[in-house]
Amino acid sequence: MNRETTNRREAILSAANNLRWEVGENLHDKLIESIYANASRISGKAATAPGKKTRFSWERNLDRLLTSRYLGFPVMF
């Protein structure tokens, strides 16, 4: 490694070390909490509970129609 690369690396590591203490101790906890909240929101929209009626979806019905065994192939032509 040349001297410029070493100096640049040291500057980046020093900046990262300083920023580490500025963001607070619970940054990791907040980050993980927001990731899990986002995953929960997405899974709530994608999955249905047993016994619950599914919402009507044009996309789902159109997909079922266009990929069906009997209509899917002729529609391609």
Digit-coded pLDDT (tens) for 6-53? 999 999 999 998 888 888 778 889 999 999 999 999 988 877 777 777
Q: List phi, psi (to 5°) of 56.
A: -70, 130
Radius of gyration of the chain (CA): 26
CA 44 to the chain's CA centroid? 14
Tell me the residue range of the domain where 15 lies. Answer: 1-44
Regarding pTM above 0.85, the answer is: no
- pLDDT on residue 12: 95
Determine the 3-state secondary structure of 10 from DSSP: helix
Classify residue 40: in a domain, yes or no. yes
Classify residue 75: in a domain, yes or no. no
Q: How many domains does the structure of the chain reveal? A: 1
Classify residue 51: in a domain, yes or no. no
Classify residue 23: in a domain, yes or no. yes
Classify residue 24: in a domain, yes or no. yes
